[in-house]
């Protein structure tokens, strides 16, 4: 009997349930978790009971949510992660010198996750908490997407249906591929009203000392406070900051 294989599959199923809880914006029913994960309802119930007992999930009148242990682990990540630790002082300096909000994202599958952020003196007009998950095909995700291995990039574009950007423009596979090619040539991405209308941003990948893509650094502002031309002049600062962080990870 392959006990190690069974344990591995059980662990994968537990992660599937945790991802379902993470993606929910409100308490989620057991039947919904079962449907989203493709797990039998009895299997889902057993896994959920274990997660509740260990504090990774909790119950409410309306269903299940992530538990307090998940928050404790997120806090530990922020304290321990080498990229976050290296980025903090650089983000602070970059935000001080530009007057803009500076952030770090890392890739998780075909998504990106905000792991560090320093708000500008005049903060953005929307909430953006640490741990927020966003797609790769808008804004600061594009430099990460541009540097995916060819095989993963091919998989990403299979049956790709682009979003309508906040500007109203319909993004297509062809237009996105063109942007990714430009990012590889220039080393950065200038975003205009992609995810949020009226925002402008510059993003550049962070390469570790081993040459691996460790994350992406971006600065962002509202276009009524910073012009596109002024933001473009900040590109060298962003590239230098990304390089400085990368040298330390």
Distance CA 231, CA 223 (A): 10
In the prediction, which pLDDT does 9 show? 85
- Give domain limits for the chain: 3-71, 81-246
pLDDT of 146 higher than 70: yes
Span 117-127, mean pLDDT? 85
Span 44-56, mean pLDDT? 96
Domain 81-246 has CATH 3.40.50.150: no
pLDDT of 121 higher than 90: no
Q: Sign of torsion, CA 94 95 97 100?
A: positive
pLDDT of 2 higher than 70: no
Give per-residue pLDDT as tens, 151-179: 999 999 998 999 999 999 999 999 999 99
Average pLDDT, the chain: 94
In the prediction, which pLDDT does 25 show? 86
> Per mean pLDDT, which range of 3-17, 79-93, 233-247 is the poorest?
3-17
Span 64-85, mean pLDDT? 94
Give per-residue pLDDT as tens, 77-95: 999 999 999 999 999 999 9
Q: Smallest Cα–Cα separation from 165: which of 157, 156, 175?
A: 175
Question: Could you tell me how many residues make up the chain?
Answer: 249
Distance CA 39, CA 210 (A): 40
Q: What percent of the chain has pLDDT over 90?
A: 90
In the prediction, which pLDDT does 158 show? 94
Query: What angle, 0 to 180 degrees and rounded to 10, lies between the N-to-C axes of helices 68-80 and 82-98?
Result: 70
In this prediction the pTM is: 0.88
Residue ranges of alpha helices (H) inside 55-81 are 68-80
According to CATH, what is the number of the domain 3-71?
1.10.10.10
- Residue 214: band (very low, low, confident or very high) from pLDDT cuts 50, 70, 90: very high
- Residue 128: band (very low, low, confident or very high) from pLDDT cuts 50, 70, 90: confident
pLDDT of 122 higher than 90: no
């Amino acid at each position: 009997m392959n006990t190690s294989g069974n344990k591995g599959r059980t662990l994968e199923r537990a992660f599937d349930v945790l991802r379902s809880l993470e993606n929910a914006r409100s308490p989620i029913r057991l039947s919904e978790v079962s449907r989203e994960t493709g797990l039998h309802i009895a299997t889902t119930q057993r896994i959920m009971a274990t997660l509740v007992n260990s504090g990774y999930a909790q119950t409410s009148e309306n269903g299940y949510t992530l538990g307090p242990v998940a928050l404790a682990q997120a806090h530990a990540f922020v304290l321990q992660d080498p990229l976050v630790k290296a980025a903090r002082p650089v983000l602070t300096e970059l935000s001080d010198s530009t007057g803009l909000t500076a952030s770090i994202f890392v890739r998780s599958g075909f998504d990106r996750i905000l792991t560090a952020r320093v708000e500008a003196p005049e903060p953005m007009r929307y909430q953006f908490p640490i741990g927020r998950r966003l797609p790769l095909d808008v804004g600061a995700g594009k430099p990460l997407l541009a540097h995916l291995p060819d095989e993963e990039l091919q998989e990403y574009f299979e049956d790709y249906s682009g979003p309508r950007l906040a500007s109203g423009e319909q993004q297509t596979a062809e237009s996105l591929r063109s942007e990714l090619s430009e990012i590889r040539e220039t080393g950065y991405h200038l975003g205009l009203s992609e995810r949020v209308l009226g925002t402008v941003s510059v993003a550049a990948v962070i390469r570790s000392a081993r040459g691996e893509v460790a994350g992406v650094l971006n600065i962002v502002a509202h276009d009524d406070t910073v012009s596109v031309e002024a933001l473009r002049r900040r590109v060298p600062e962003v590239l230098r900051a990304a390089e400085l962080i990368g040298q330390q990870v």
